[in-house]
Structure 1
Amino acid sequence: MDYNSLIDEETWAFIAQTIESYPEDAVELSIEGQRQVYDDMCRVFHQGYPDGVEATDVQANGIPVRVYTAGQPTRTVVYYHGGGFVVGGLESHDDVCAEICAQTGYRVVAVDYRLCPEFRHPVQFDDSWAATQWAASEFGDPLILAGDSAGGNLAACVAHHSRGRLDNVLGQVLIYPGLGGDMTKGSYLEHDKAPLLTLDEIKFYQTVRFHGDEPVGDPTYAPLHDTDFSGLPPTVVFTADCDPLRDDGRDYRDRLQEAGVKAHWINEDGLIHGYLRARTTVGHARDSFERISIAIEALGQGIWAYD
């Protein structure tokens, strides 16, 4: 794959800055080593809070969460962070959540689910579901579920599990999610050596998620493995074109539409996995983040602008 023809100079500069803090062989470090370099990288890109945004750390049914507010919100976004289920936490996506709060006016609840490999599936889902139930009961607002990468997986898992259990989920916004697609074809092979996320890295993160055999037919592990996609909330999926996970978003959109669910897929040309951190330095990423915020806000208002 000729990434020099697909990726512009701004994005290459972002890739280089990322690798300075999070080297391409980081997956070979110990788990603690991976977390350290990931946290260091996130601090480099941290943008601070927009004016008017406040945040408070609380416990949500025993799960640490950070609640962001600006004014008097009438909607709550539950946000699940990325990091391959191995790295990340309340600090890694702190400014992203603050900016979503500022741009939408909605409350944002960031979920600090427990990480692999110390805690394996279904712990990450269980923590995410517990925090979502807390948000629903604590604030009484309609919910929008959102997350990036591994967090996009968890947002979709929670959406599937919410059917018949929560009646106030207005929509979900998934950002370059890994949803359990077929790793032997499509974008997994086309972009197996993509900048910032390779197929080998995806396979590593997968192996530390479970004990014994990989779960089969379990939508709390891989939403694409569900057999019923009906009754899900309106969904907008964002993917990066230069990303092994790209086709998961397309395939998930297709499954939802086949089941009669409103679903839209936006594939961002020239972008790579993790581009949320590039939203202030890369024009394409800035535009995508604006589209993400607009999608969250619109779903919160019951607006579907993609037909």
Structure 2
Amino acid sequence: MAGDAADQTRRGKYADRLDPELWAYIDKVNSWYPPEIVAAPIAEQRAVYNRMCAAFHHGRPAGVSAGDGLVVTQAHAIPVRHYRMANRIATAIVVYYHGGGFVLGDLNSHDDICAEICAGTGFEVISADNRLAPEHLHPAAFDDALAVFEWVAATSALPIVLCGESAGGTLAAAVAQATRHHERHAVGQVLIYPGLGGDESGRSYIEHAEAPLLTLADIEFYRRVRSAPGQVLDDPTFSPLRDRDFSGLPPTVIVTAECDPLSSDGEAYRNRILAAGGQAWWREEKRLVHSFLRARMTVPRAAEAFARIISDIARLGAGDGALISPHGG
């Protein structure tokens, strides 16, 4: 009983707000990648994060094949991984940008997620491995994300859906904004708990400043570590919500977690697109936290949210955005 009381105290206002299965996931993440790790050297952070990702990897669904390649630019080569479904002709292609705060992550950290998107939609998926901070400051990650989009646009005739989670959602939004007038612009974008540079006096930033797995202090750390000297926050390639023009964007779905300081960014981004005459849907998944995609195998709410995300991607790739419900119906 004493242990239960200690847990209640440690978990604070989230003790009863999150399901027991989600707390088991949070505790498992923290056993691998404890909150204090952000003070460790970057190389150590990456090693611990990669081990955690490997521990959560659930394998690829049957029928999904994957091959690695390089997108060669004038400056360097960007690793990519291409997923396909056997014996199925894809009708769209997803460009996926991984999370990790612009500091962590690679082609392996989100491999099973990309494979499941491929299996769930039947679409091809290209996963992009952008350069990481602090070795490579902004706009390095954005430049890589844009280069992969342009390569896909030049080498595939399939409709393109942009997708990313967390830092990858930031990159997807920035690429969508930068390429909205491209001859082969994206037909849709799905942003999963993205950080878009929103107002930190907003609702979720205040209410969930100390949320499990992502705090306001974490957000500020990752923003600082990727910022070049004199970084201008109003740069839309750094903070997509700071753009002055939200017209011409593809149909957009933003999915956030209720207990995540970034959730208000999704609401604000939807509102900006709608005000500019575009199509956008924002869905806040209740009783979930940042990084819930990794919990999809053990947490029913996360599994249901991921299934809705796959449906969103499928509908946007098929040009059926009008069928998307803000409640996932």
TM range (shorter): over 0.9
| Cα separation, 2, equivalents of 1:130 and 1:166 | 15
Do the aligned partners of 2:164 and 2:171 also contact (CA within 8 Å) in 1? yes
Partner SS state of residue 286, structure 2: strand
From 140, 165, 187, give the equivalent of 1:148.
Answer: 165
Matched, 1:69 2:69: no
CA distance 1:166–1:21, change in 2 (3 Å): farther
Matched, 1:117 2:128: no
The correspondence of residues 30-69 of structure 1 with structure 2, limited to 5 A, is 30-61=41-72, 62-69=77-84
Q: Aligned Cα RMSD in Å?
A: 1.1
Do the aligned partners of 1:180 and 1:224 also contact (CA within 8 Å) in 2? yes
- Once the two structures are superposed, residues 115-160 of structure 1 have per-residue CA deviations (whole angstroms, 9 ceiling, x without a partner) of 0000010010000000111111112211000000000000000000
Q: Tell me which structure has the larger Cα radius of gyration.
A: 2
Do the aligned partners of 1:279 and 1:286 also contact (CA within 8 Å) in 2? yes
CA distance 1:165–1:281, change in 2 (3 Å): same
Q: How far did residue 259 of structure 1 move?
A: 0.5
| Cα separation, 2, equivalents of 1:205 and 1:9 | 29
The correspondence of residues 162-201 of structure 1 with structure 2, limited to 5 A, is 162-201=179-218
Q: How far did residue 166 of structure 1 move?
A: 3.7
- Once the two structures are superposed, residues 20-63 of structure 1 have per-residue CA deviations (whole angstroms, 9 ceiling, x without a partner) of 11111111111011111111110111010000000000012321
| Cα separation, 2, equivalents of 1:173 and 1:274 | 15
Q: How far did residue 167 of structure 1 move?
A: 2.9
Do the aligned partners of 2:315 and 2:324 also contact (CA within 8 Å) in 1? no
Aligned length: 307
| Cα separation, 2, equivalents of 1:31 and 1:81 | 18
From 234, 259, 282, give the equivalent of 2:276.
Answer: 259
Q: How far did residue 213 of structure 1 move?
A: 2.2
The correspondence of residues 86-125 of structure 1 with structure 2, limited to 5 A, is 86-125=103-142
TM-score (norm: length of structure 2):
0.91
Partner SS state of residue 29, structure 2: helix
Partner residue, 1:23: 34
Aligned residues with identical type, % of pairs: 50
Do the aligned partners of 2:176 and 2:185 also contact (CA within 8 Å) in 1? no
Deviates more, 1:80-89 or 1:69-78: 69-78
Deviates more, 1:77-86 or 1:179-188: 179-188
Deviates more, 1:292-301 or 1:18-27: 18-27
Do the aligned partners of 2:196 and 2:239 also contact (CA within 8 Å) in 1? yes
Q: What residue identity is the alignment partner of 1:207?
A: R
Partner SS state of residue 54, structure 1: strand
Q: How far did residue 305 of structure 1 move?
A: 1.4
Q: How far did residue 74 of structure 1 move?
A: 2.2
Q: How far did residue 168 of structure 1 move?
A: 4.0
| Cα separation, 2, equivalents of 1:163 and 1:109 | 19
Do the aligned partners of 1:141 and 1:168 also contact (CA within 8 Å) in 2? no
Partner SS state of residue 5, structure 1: coil
Partner residue, 2:16: 5
Matched, 1:133 2:150: yes
Runs of 4+ in 1 over 4 A off after TM superposition: none
Q: How far did residue 216 of structure 1 move?
A: 3.4
- Once the two structures are superposed, residues 76-104 of structure 1 have per-residue CA deviations (whole angstroms, 9 ceiling, x without a partner) of 10000000000001000000000000000
Q: What residue identity is the alignment partner of 1:77?
A: V
| Cα separation, 2, equivalents of 1:278 and 1:297 | 21
Q: What residue identity is the alignment partner of 1:283?
A: P
Partner SS state of residue 169, structure 1: coil
Question: What are the ranges of 5 or more consecutive residues in structure 2 without an aligned counterpart?
Answer: 1-11
